Amino acid sequence: MVAQRWNSPPLAPLYVRNRRDGSRLLSSALVIFTIAATQLHTSWGCGSAAVSALVCIYWGFAYRRLER
């Protein structure tokens, strides 16, 4: 019996492929981080700041690799 291969659609990329949209994503993540950083005394503020900081770092490195 031969196993069937399912043709699944490709996964969405974790970042865009042009600098204009990349700068929009990065600035949105920075705004979310800034708002969360002002609420570090709450549990949701700490969690949101940590997650958005990781996203900012990842998207920052991805933005640097895009062509001009």
pLDDT tens-place string over residues 15-62 = 888 999 999 999 999 999 999 999 999 999 999 999 999 999 999 999
Assess whether pLDDT exceeds 90 at residue 4: no
Q: What is the pLDDT of residue 17?
A: 87
Does residue 41 contact residue 49 with C-beta atoms inside 8 Å? no
Q: What is the pLDDT of residue 12?
A: 64
Helix, strand and coil content of the chain, in percent to the nearest 5, comes to 60, 0, 40
- Residue 64 has a CB neighbour count (10 Å cut-off) of 8
Q: What is the pLDDT of residue 40?
A: 95
* Cα 65 to Cα 47: distance, rounded to the nearest angstrom: 28
For 45, phi then psi, to 5°, come to: -70, -40
Q: What is the pLDDT of residue 5?
A: 61
